[in-house]
Amino acid sequence: MCGIIGYVGSGDAVPLVLEGLKRLEYRGYDSAGFALVEDGQLVVEKSAGRLSEFMASLGDSLPSGRAAIAHTRWATHGAPTDNNAHPHTDCTGRIAVIHNGIIENVAVLRATLAKHGHSFRSDTDTEVLAHLIEHLYEDSLQGAVAAALKQVEGAYGLAVICTYEPHTIVAAKQGSPLLLGVGDGENFVASDAAAVLQHTRSVVYLDDGEMAVLTKDGYQIPDLDTTRVAKAVSPVDWDLATIERGGYPHFMLKEIMEQPVSICNTLRGHLLPEDGNARLSGINLSDAELLEFDRVVLIACGTSWHAALIGEYMLEELARVPVEVEYASEFRYRNPIIDDRTLVVGISQSGETADTLAAVREAKKKGAWTLGIVNVVGSSIAREVDGGTYIHAGPEIGVASTKAFTCQVTALALLTLRLGRQRALSVLQGREIVEALNALPEQVKAVLAKANEIERIAEQYVRAPNALYLGRGYNFPVALEGALKLKEISYIHAEGYPAAEMKHGPIALIDGMMPVVFVAPQDGVYPKIVSNLEEVKARGGRVFAVVTDGDDQIARLADHVFTIPKTLDSLTPLLSVLPLQLFAYYIAVRRGCNVDQPRNLAKAVTVE
């Protein structure tokens, strides 16, 4: 993985694919490269490092051709070196492959090809694909790719060109996102719509097991048995302005500041104030069918898993339904007990998270009804599930998720409201929740308007080597999320804990050099967390506390405080997480870190 762009048409291909790579930089990468056919010869340029450095090394004289493929890589096999960068070629230097995903039977394939005289120049699994396609090539690139992929186990989104068919690109998908951009006299293949948006808003999403054969005059979509597949062309409903920084120094800050609008977009059209309920027609379940479920299982990874934990608290308290939160990466490997009375919800910003997609598929096999809470329209999870809801956060370019997290929690609040009104919530309680949800965008705006306060506080913690984040109840997952944000973008080691668990180990770390971040609004567990804060101060810890407006008790104890408006306990995370996002951001900026593209991370993790 991570970024794929290919072009075939009447234009000059290399500038177009390099421009596409720039649009994909946000996904994270460690090397870049491209390949095209020029005057009957395969030309490959690639190197480890940043795309800007790679492009500078090319100079002003770029090779010319009408079809090219390009890639930014996020290492799975092999260190980030020039040799391991994509594209990869075969022994003859006539076939080039770019690939996202992991080939699981690479060792067997490599050994078999070596016996037939193939030699390898890299440590990657992708190079094996190039040699396998060469080995099986007879008279058609499409046929060779299809034959090769029938021997492959694992995940792939790939694009292939060769000198034998210089005006053709063959692409294929299995478990890794891939789409076609349909133009006038030109066509594209890409791992993300952002790469083609400047040229077309018409896309075709490939499903697993499908290939695409692209020329400038059109495209065909067969399966691996070359049977033609009919696919709808979908419009992309956002434009380039949404993936530009808009005057902000970083995408992450822009996306933090967009949260009043993004939360409003998640709520739009779903709230029923008079009924104290939520309209969620996309879940494709009637009220009677909702009552048939005995429990709910939420599956996710990373930041989405933290959103799921908040959803667990909401659903159990307000809808009175048993809930389990599962790491998607572990879910399908432990033979979970799932049946047709289980509602399984997969949560993913990209809708392409490989572990979550695999977990959703496992749940379906066991008879569960599956829902998706995703951001990207047409994504793999959105197409796989039985129903669900889009969060409509808009494109999230910064690798560290911010606005998608709050929109996921908002969507879970809507699901809670819908389930709760069927089970445990009165109309008056429902109306109270609706009123609080409607108030959220303005409250979020008020919190973000005080960003300069967080910037001043962050200055005091820039040199901390470690940090501890503590919260209770609904705000324990917020502590986890705050710690994750600090780790992701500033590279400061941080851990989140339930505040009471501090006494069972982490308290040994507390001294005058250990900053402790308390998420301590005035909710149902407020007296308990005040006691935990006292314990930290007694051991000389430095405390930054997020508290409710008007709280002067913690203000007397903490070294630094930041206040948020009062809301329902269940919705407090949507406000308390905001200062933690800003805190991590300002510390990372002050430390000189690459905020939008932190090291070793990718935006969409499409491998297991």
Residues labelled as active-site residues: 2, 603
Q: Burial level of 80, CB count in 10 A (0-12/13-18/19+)?
A: middle
Q: How far apart are CA 473 and CA 313, in angstroms?
A: 8
Task: Spell out the alpha helix ranges (H) of 24-79.
Answer: 51-58
Asked if 554 and 528 touch (Cβ cutoff 8 Å), the reply is no
Helix (H, G, I), strand (E, B) or coil at 151: coil
Asked if 551 and 530 touch (Cβ cutoff 8 Å), the reply is no
Which residue is it, tokens 């600090």?
486
- CA dihedral of 156, 161, 162, 164, whole degrees rounded to 10: 120
Q: How far apart are CA 13 and CA 64, in angstroms?
A: 7
Contacts of 377 (CB under 8 A, 6+ apart): 234, 237, 390
The DSSP string of 258-289 is THHHHHHHHHTTTEETTTTEE--GGG---HHH
Give the gyration radius of the chain's Cα atoms: 25
Task: Spell out the alpha helix ranges (H) of 388-426.
Answer: 403-423
The DSSP string of 100-116 is EEEETTHHHHHHHHHHT
Count Cα atoms within 13 angstroms, Cβ side, for 124: 29
How far does the chain reach from its first CA to its final CA, in angstroms? 12
